[in-house]
Amino acid sequence: MAVRQRRPGTLPFLAALAIVAIGPYTGARAQVTARTMGTESRDMFSDFGYLLRSPLRADRTEWAVVGLSALGFAALLPADTPVDRWVVDHPNALVLRVLAPFREESGPLDRLVTAKQLVPISAALFLAGAVADRRGLREAGLGCIAGWGVSNVVRYATYAVISRDRPSAADGNSLAFAVPGGKWDQHSFPAGHATNAFACASFWNTRFDLSVGEPALYAVATLSSLARIADRRHWTSDTFVGIVVGFAIGQTVARRYAVREARRDLRARAELVAGAGASNPADRATHHDRLVGSRHVVVLWRASF
């Protein structure tokens, strides 16, 4: 089940998400209120808690995916040292030049998927949605913040238990794991940039139809993730785990929004049926007028099964 926002236009870069979501459309809008924003904010915290408790509800299929991901991580461990050595030996390689905008020393986008930029971007989307009366914008901001929050809890909980030397501090030893966790130089596993980036990209691309913006978002997330390998902050296997975890977080948050959208749709239809059965013609007309706007919103943000 997925909810898709059907809008014309493209998304050449992350900031254009707001332009796409604010763009003109046909149909009535439901007026945003403090109560609406409060409910939506509460949903965000609900998603946060749901994700943190999700291992307790995992079924066989989900644990099988976890197992396959663990095998993927193990399969990449032998490649960690050769990849890091190649990065050191080929500083001017084309692929590393492509990553330059996302790297620490040379890139203006090196913190794009960190709290310093990702959270303000998400907050701006939410506030823009409140001002412009766009549920989609508010969801885009809140869903990304929920994903980022869970990503940080998972990562720092892992860092507290397991340490792994970053490539820049490991002296070529990619298997420098230890228990308990260590300082910043031992926070290699898992890759935080990758987790944050794919949590939001996966959520946005699953929740909304962004046309060519969808691969653009994944491209930005991928480049942000690979730049950390180039900066020798994470091994290849760390980045793989970050991508998998982030993608799963984004997908889960998007499904939660889809369920809530489906419930709103069902409530609107039930109210429409109840209004059609009203005995007073004036009540029927009032009920119909009130629900027409809601139905326009439901059509715009419809659930596809």
Averaged pLDDT, groups of 10, the chain, 305 residues long: 38 43 40 79 91 88 94 97 97 94 90 93 93 92 95 94 96 94 95 96 95 94 97 97 96 94 88 69 52 38 33
Tell me, what's the pLDDT at 105?
84
Cα–Cα dist 69/58, whole Å? 15
Tell me, what's the pLDDT at 281?
57
Cα–Cα dist 292/305, whole Å? 23
Cα–Cα dist 245/241, whole Å? 6
Tell me, what's the pLDDT at 280?
60
Tell me, what's the pLDDT at 279?
56
Could you tell me the domains of the chain? 11-257 (1.20.144)
Classify 133 in phi/psi space as left (phi over 0), alpha (psi -120 to 50) or beta.
Answer: left
Tell me, what's the pLDDT at 111?
92
Tell me, what's the pLDDT at 282?
54
User: What's the pTM value of the predicted model, to 2 decimals?
Assistant: 0.80
